[in-house]
Every structure is written in structure tokens, then in C-alpha cells.
Amino acid sequence: MIISFRAKAIIGIALIEAVLLSILIISVLSFLRDSNQQQLLRHAKTTTSTFAAMSADAIISHDLDRLQSSSISLCHNPGIVFVRIIDEQQRILIQSGSIEALQAPFVINADLNKTTSNVFNASQAIEAGGVKYGSVQIGFDISYLEATLSKAEHWSLGIAGLEMLLVALFSMTLGSYLTKQIAQFTQGAEDISRGNVGKQLRVKGRDEIAQATKAFNRMSLAIKESQDSLEDQVKTKTAELNQANNKLRHLLDEQSTLLDNQSVGIATVQDRKIVWCNPAFLNMMGYDSLDQLLGHSTRQFYLYEADFIDMAQAYQALADKHVLRRDFQFVRKDGRTIWVDLNGSRLPSEHQSLWVIVDVTARVEAQAALGRSEIKFRALFESTSEAIFLLDDNGLADCNQAALKIFGCQSKQQFCNITAADLSAPSQPCGSDSTPLLKQQFALAKQQGSLRFDWLCKRLDTGELFPAEVLLSLVQYDGQTQLLASVWDVSERVAMMQEIEQQAKTDYLTGLCNRRAFIAFAERELEHARRYKKPLAILAIDIDFFKKINDNYGHNVGDLTLQKFADVCNEVLRESDLLGRIGGEEFAILLPETDAHQAQEISERLRKSLSDCRVTLPDTAVSIHFTVSIGITLFAGGTTDIDDLLNRADTALYLAKNNGRDQVVMGEFVAGL
């Protein structure tokens, strides 16, 4: 179904108006309801307080006749449904007003919206000299409020309906005007599409549509001018393109000459088949022309099938713009094998890659000769800074000087007379004994060819344990297969990681645990308390007027205040208690196995110690003091979590602040069933 522009304009404007009217009506009604409720609450509070004060003397003197007269007079006031006076034992002394309302259960109302009838119940204690003698209960009629609100709703809906009708009429008129202008634009565009370039529309008025019409006319003229000059531009661009093609052809000829004269082989491969190669590659592999290789698989070059498969897997993992480099043995046309260095990268064309092939046979043979040379091997063996030793079937066969230094051994003879287990801790961090675990690592290294793992080692001279990283490599030496072990002492790295982990749990300024560490520890303690049915207390602490300290003395004094706070708390609290900085000047304390009395005593002692301490300003003899507010909550069983306990402690803390600060408030807690 196609909706016209006129319909869209009507619907759009109507929807906007409906939303705005709804917001206005809801806001006005909400304001009326809130205003009436606030007025009723003030009236109820004033009336009950005044009547309670007037009734105090009469109750003290047991003048019930006076109370009865006062209650009857009060019930004559409009809006008062009933009046009841009860003593401290909840016995009715005097009551007047509606019998039906007096017989209903009395529930104190705090919210007009939650009343179950047209009566709003209010109560006020009757006190004199700090002694409570009873309370006054008064019911207020709220039926007139509901009637007022209902009348306001009907009037609002009527006005809204009338306004929506006017908006619909206005929208229809506006839509008709706009669609006429759009039809003119549509006709003009169709004329241009049929080749009537330069079409001009009639301009009416000076509004935005007139401006758009003028812009359409300018566009039409511009299109005509562009069409007139297009042929000249095409001729010019064609000449430039021909010139660029000539330059490109010249560059390609130069590139071809450059590639053909390279001393290394270059080949283009698509789907692992030769697409092109330079003469250097043909000569390297013993072929006479490109036709002998064109379209042939590159498998014919690899000496081993496994190398061909390995290269395919490595290429699949190759990302764009990355280069793959490997050494392989290739087979020439005459059957002779050579070592080549392959460098490959992807080309923009699909499934194509470019390869640079270098004959490295001489280098590989030199490396093999180096591997067979005892002198060169020994130089490399002794020059490295990590501990290196050889293991054969008989045990430790050789080691370098670095191994003697790291493991605290005096000579190679001593080193070779011990076993690898003597260089290890009795057991590893995983809990396994070192000797059988070491045999498993040796077997795995021989099976895989190499193996890297972490190990807890031991010095021979002091027996000191230290963490290490071990690399076992299977090598050929002196005509037999041996394991070459490389050991790195990673004590500094482990210490650094531990320090980083500690910093992640500690507040940098106070040295206390941070919020994350406090929550983690508190959750464990809460689970322990729940499992063994132990009491537990949480304290929320806030430094009073901390912002004023920062504003008046600077943030450096604020930092000193936080540090002083931490020092005093650490002196007062028990070793089993946990103090954490939750944020800013807010702290939390967890007191394991602590009941309400103990928590109150510890909190008061802590508050007093903090109030007595002083913070000396830098470079002066002036000192300041500060106070704290403390909120307490207790865990006495149940399924509550640590976040709920912290929230309860915060609620008690805010109550302490609202009551004047520098005090301890015991908050509510829920005992387990």
C-alpha cells in the first residue's frame, strides 16, 4: 500500500501533536495530583500535631470530657472523617466521627496513591516532657481530591480532541499546497529525463519552495551547460588516456626488462600452478623456456610431499600484505637437489601470489658444516648467557659456564656427576614430584623434537629455589642424538608479575586493598560465615567534610589525611579485620566473627581514635583534625550477598551524616530463617 505525501503530512503532524498533548496532559494531571497530595500531607501533619499538643494536658490531668469535646469539635471540620485518641497500651480513650471509618483497621498512610479507601489516615504521638502518653489518630476525607482530578481529566480529553480536529484540518490544507509544488518538480524532472535539458519551472512567492524552484531551474541550466561541454571533455580525456596508456606500456616494458635481469628467481603462482616466471628462475631449476612450466603444479619442485603440504597450510594462514618465508629443498629438472629461500606474498588478483626464490644451497651447506664443527659449536655453546647443558642416555654430559653460575656449581665435573632431578625442587607448583614429571618432559621432548615449559629449579650450593623457563631441543652431536637443555632464570620476571598483581589489588595512596580486592575477600569471608553460622559485621566509613580539607588546604593535605586515616585504622583494628578503600574518602571494614555489641564497641573506639589524631601540614607547625561517620550492618545468616551488606552499611552511614556526623549508627539487618 502506497501512502501519499498529503497523508504522511497529516499523520506526521497529528502524531507530533498527539505526543505533545499527551505529555502536556500527563504532566498537568501529575502536577495536580502531586500538589494535592503535598497539600493534604501538610494539612494532615499540621492538624495531627496541633491536636496532639492540645490533648497532652487533658490526658495528663485525665480530663476525658475535655478530650471528647475537642474531638467532636474537630470532627465538625470539613474533611475530617474521624478522631481517635489511644493510650500507650493501645486502649481507646476518646473517638468521634464516622462509625464505619472507626470500625475499619487503622493503617498510617504516607502516600495518597496507596490509600485503599477515600480516607487518609494520619497519626501523631502525644508527648510531654519527653514522656509519651499515647497517640492521636485522625482520618481525612480525600474523595473531593479524586473528584477534582476526574473532572480535570475529562476537560483535558475534550480539549485534546478539539485540538486534534483543528490540527487535522490544518494538515490537509498544508498537504494540498505541498503536493501541488511537488507535482511541479516531478513533471520538471521527467522532462529532463526525456532529454528536455534546460527546463524552467514557474516561481511563485518567496518561501522555501520558491527558493527550491529557483535552485531546480539553476540545476537544469547547469545540466544543459554540462551537456554542451561534455563532448569536448570526452575528447580531451580520451587523448589523456591514450597518453597514459603509452606511458604504462613503456613502464611495463621496463619492468619486464628489470625482472628478466634479476639474479634471483621470481614467479607468479595461481592455485599452486605456475603463471609466469623470470629467466633467472628457469635457469635455477634447469628449464629452457616458460612453456615447460606454464600451468604446471609447483609440487614438482618440492623434494618432500610434507614440505609441499606444510607450505600450503602456512600460506592459508598468511594475511594480506604479510610475507611468508621458508627454506626448502627443491629438485631441479636434472634431478639435482638445491636449497632455496622462498619469500611469498599475496597479490590483489584472486588466488594469485608472487614468490621470490633464492638459491641458498651454499649457505645451508655452510650451516651444516658449522653444526659439525666442534670448535664453532663450543664457541656458541659458551658465549650465551643462559644455562645450557647436554643430556644423553647416561645423564648430564656437558654444560656451559652460565649453567655453573646459575645452579651454583663449582666445576663441570661436579655438574656432570649429578642428575637433572638434583637441579630441581622436590616438587613442582602443580603438586607433582619433580623426578617422574621430569622423565615425562624428556620423553615428550624426544617425541616432538622440542619442548618449552616452566620449572622450579634449585641451586646446588645454597639449596635456594628459583623459577625458570626450560627449552629442550633434540640435536645431533658427536654422532648421537642428545637433548640440549636451555634454562633461563625468570625470578625477576616472576617477581615483577607478582608486584603487578599486588599493585592491582592495592590502593596506591593508602596501601590498603582496593575495592575489587576488598569485595573478593569479603565474599569469601561471607561464605565462611554462612557455612559455619558465624556472625559478621560490615562498617561503611566516610571522612566528614573531606572536600573542605581539599579545598582549604590542597589535595596534598587531603592525601596526608587519607594516609593518616589508614595508619590509625591499622593500629586500632584487629589482625583478622580487613580495611579497604572503596573510593575517594569512602572506606569499608569487614569484621569476621563479630556481633552487634562488638561491632559497636570497635566502631566507637575507632571513631574516637580518629577524632583525636592530628594531621600536620607540610612545612608548617599547623595541624588539623578530622572526624568520621560510621554505619554498621550485620550478617546473621540468610542468602544476602556482600553488595546488599555494603548497601545497608551505606544507608546507616548516610543516617549518621544526616544526624550531624562524627557518630556511629547501627543499621538494619535481616537474620536468617
Residues with a known catalytic role: 585
Distant-in-sequence, close-in-space partners of 378: CB < 8 Å, separation ≥ 6: none
Q: Which residues pair with 249 in a beta bridge?
A: none
**Secondary structure of 337-370 in HEC code, one letter for each residue:** EEEEEEEEEECCCCCEEEEEEEECHHHHHHHHHH
The one-letter code for the residue type at 276 is W
Strands (E) in 562-657, as ranges, are 578-583, 586-592, 615-616, 623-624, 628-635
Give the closest residue to 126 by CA, choosing from 83, 97, 65: 83
Other Cβ atoms less than 10 A from the Cβ of 394: the count is 7
Residue 626, Ramachandran bin (φ over 0: left; ψ between -120 and 50: alpha; else beta) = beta
- Taking CA atoms, 422 is separated from 417, 426, 461, 576, in Å, by 10, 9, 11, 41
Treating both helix axes as pointing N-terminal to C-terminal, what angle do 546-553 and 555-572 enclose, rounded to 10 degrees? Answer: 140
| Burial of 436: CB neighbours in 10 Å, binned 0-12, 13-18, 19+ | exposed
CA 415 to chain centre: 52
Q: Which residues contact 649 (CB under 8 A, 6 or more apart)?
A: 538, 539, 540, 588, 631, 632, 633, 667
**Cell 482530578 sits on residue:** 149
Radius of gyration for the alpha carbons in the chain, expressed in angstroms and rounded: 46
Q: Which of 280, 331, 325 is nearest to 302 (CA)?
A: 331
Within 10 A of 570 (CB to CB), how many other CB atoms are there?
14
Alpha carbons 94 and 101: distance in angstroms, whole number = 15
Contacts of 380 (CB under 8 A, 6+ apart): none
